[in-house]
Amino acid sequence: MSTSKTVTKDPICGMSVDESSAHSVKRDGQTFYFCSDHCRQKLLSAPAGTKPEEKSHDCCGYHTKGVAQEAEDTIVKIMTKAARLIAGL
Ligand SMILES: [Zn+2]
């Protein structure tokens, strides 16, 4: 492998990130790389020497598509109910 690209893993969300373009932070003598500043802040906000819990992706918009879709469905239901009330049904 003679590529200069080094891909590593975001320790917060587990996404693959390119070290040359990733958000990074040095901590405990180690350099961590992140997909976004959001994930970087998450690690920084954790107590020194610990690793924040890995949880489902809430850092990158497209990871939460399912949740957004669910919310949209709920809004549509409420709007339908409201429209019926207004129409006097
Ligand atoms: Zn991330």
Full DSSP string of 26-80: EETTEEEEESSHHHHHHHHHSPTT--PPP-S--SSGGGGHHHHHHHHHHHHHHHH
Residue 50 C-alpha to ligand 1 middle, in angstroms? 17
Question: How distant, in Å, are the alpha carbons of 16, 41, 68 from that of 23?
Answer: 12, 10, 26
Instruction: Pick 27 or 19 by higher pLDDT.
Output: 19
Q: Which pLDDT band, with edges at 50, 70 and 90, does 18 fall under? A: very high
Arithmetic mean of pLDDT, 4-26: 91
Residue 10 C-alpha to ligand 1 middle, in angstroms? 6
pLDDT at 58: 55
Residue 43 C-alpha to ligand 1 middle, in angstroms? 10
Q: Which residues contact 28 (CB under 8 A, 6 or more apart)?
A: 48, 49
List pLDDT tens digits, range 21-77. Answer: 999 999 889 899 999 999 999 988 877 666 655 554 555 554 445 667 778 888 889
Residue 5 C-alpha to ligand 1 middle, in angstroms? 19
pTM of the model: 0.51
